Amino acid sequence: MKAFITGGTGFIGSHLAEQLIHKHNAEVFTLVRDLKKPKWLKGLDVQPLNGDLYSLPDLPENLDYIFHLAGLTKAYKSADYYTVNQKGTASLFQSILDQNIKPKKVIYLSSMAAAGPSRQRKPVREDRSPSPVTIYGDSKLKGEYEVLKLKEELPLVIIRVGAVYGPRDRDFLKYLQVIKKRIFPVIGKKDRLLNLCYVKDLCQALILAAQTDQESGEIFHIAHPQPYSWNDIGKISGEIIGKKLITIKIPLPLVYMVAAASDLISLFTKKRSIINRQKYREFKQEGWLTDTHKAEKQLLFRPIFPLEEGLRETIYWYQEQGWL
């Protein structure tokens, strides 16, 4: 099996490379912008190809699968999201066609942010009209549209995933660092529910999508089917870390003020804070519930890691690395 991954040096991509190599004996090629910075691919038996979404190097012949995971999740300029997530995706797929690469399957990793939040606690299905509430979500949706333009020319699958957590992720780390200080932040009055996905379960779904026959252009929602609130996540994390937590209720207007201030600061620092007005739009939604029945039926996707096990493995890894 030969596989090519964009975004392979990142959190999700490096886990996917590991699974392909260790569980499927795959020959893995990765798109790397700086060959001197392999990041999480260091020590893995991968073949780096120097380039980016706008300057794709020559790909190896007889590629079986292409996994397009590269994307921008944080930016201080709105246009940057579209430059990478929409236009970069279009550029990559055009280059695949130009090189006359004919893989068995091309998998595009999108986001539940493209589908939009759930309403009235009803999990979002693939056939619901997308309603993104953030610029990031809109850019990922437009990336999907670029992919679907080519569904007659390439065998395509789109995977939408919600909040992904696991070892190597630095965004979820920030939440756990607050928990370690015994602070249990509860935002707003409503108990908002969401479906998370452990990174190893997501990689399993990506590989299943590659190896399972379905019509080109199919979209699948991936997550653990058990919904949780941030209250649940905080309590379980506190128990694993061994901290008795102090609950601090944070009203939504205060979150907005902090987010607005963070956006102002980022204009000068050129760095996007994890708390910003786009994230605020996600916080204030009723929930982010995901319907996974289609993936369960057609891909035979069954997540292995319940939240407590996934959190424990993640927290222990952070502690081993000295991050937590």
Q: What is the pLDDT of residue 27?
A: 97
Helix, strand or coil, per DSSP, at residue 182: coil
Q: What is the pLDDT of residue 190?
A: 77
Cα 93 → chain centroid:
20
State in Å, rounded, how far the first CA of the chain is from the last one: 37
CB atoms closer than 10 angstroms to residue 256: 15
Q: What is the pLDDT of residue 296?
A: 98
Q: What is the pLDDT of residue 262?
A: 78
- The answer to whether the CB of 19 falls within 8 A of the CB of 200 is yes
Supply angle C-alpha 84, 2, 142, rounded to 5. 25
Burial of 62 (0-12, 13-18, 19+ CB in 10 A): exposed
Q: What is the pLDDT of residue 19?
A: 97
Q: What is the pLDDT of residue 268?
A: 74
Q: What is the pLDDT of residue 266?
A: 76
For the chain, list the domains and their CATH numbers.
2-169+195-229+288-309 (3.40.50.720)
Q: Tokens at residue 263, please?
A: 């956006």
Supply angle C-alpha 221, 226, 229, rounded to 5. 105
Host H or E run for residue 156: strand 156-161
Order of all β-strands in the sheet with 228-229: 228-229, 193-194, 287-288
Tell me the β-bridge partners of 246. 183
One digit per residue, the tens of pLDDT, for the chain of length 324 reads 999 999 999 999 999 999 999 999 999 999 999 999 999 999 999 999 999 999 999 999 899 999 999 999 988 788 999 999 999 999 999 999 999 999 999 999 999 999 999 998 899 999 999 999 999 999 999 999 999 999 999 999 999 999 999 999 998 999 999 999 999 888 877 788 999 999 999 999 999 999 999 999 999 999 999 999 988 999 999 999 999 999 888 877 887 788 788 777 777 777 777 777 888 888 888 899 999 999 999 999 999 999 999 999 999 999 999 999
Q: Which residues contact 153 (CB under 8 A, 6 or more apart)?
A: 97
pTM: 0.94
Q: Are strands 46-50 and 65-68 parallel, antiparallel or unpaired?
A: unpaired
